[in-house]
Amino acid sequence: MSNEARRPVGQAWLVRHFDLAVPRPAVQSYVVAGARRTETDGRRTTEPYPVRYATEDSIVRHLRFALRHEAFDLGVLIAALREIDPAVLEAWVRAQPTGAFSRRAWFLYETFTGRPSL
């Protein structure tokens, strides 16, 4: 699969968006034209998702994708959470105060940055 035919999503998008200096996550997800399947090459796993999983390029959407669909890499998530403006998480939590993923992101943010987001 060519790199042009796939768009990073979730943790792979966060790594690229924030230019995080972290090891690549063991599982990387991409949106592709085609069916859902898992590709394993040694210790690395690529998870291609069909186009219906595509999301807008926003921090919240990709963080939500990572928390919902991926076996997340704490190194990537901690590095990304340290880069996220707390106002972004606050707006998400206020918009979805009972949402499982917004609350989980808030909890992880506070736990790993030591800063309250609200």
> How much is the mean pLDDT over the chain?
90
pLDDT at residue 117, as a whole number: 57
The residue ranking higher by pLDDT, 12 or 116, is 12
Q: What is the DSSP string of 19-51?
A: T--SPPPSEEEEEESS----EEETTEEEEEEEG
* Three-state SS sequence of 54-112: CCCCCHHHHHHHHHHHCCCCHHHHHHHHHHCCHHHHHHHHHHCCCCHHHHHHHHHHHHH
The distance in angstroms from the start CA to the end CA of the chain is 42
The share of the chain scoring above pLDDT 70, in percent, equals 95
Q: What is the mean pLDDT of residues 62-83?
A: 94
Model pTM score: 0.88
pLDDT at residue 2, as a whole number: 46
Identity of the amino acid at 85 = D
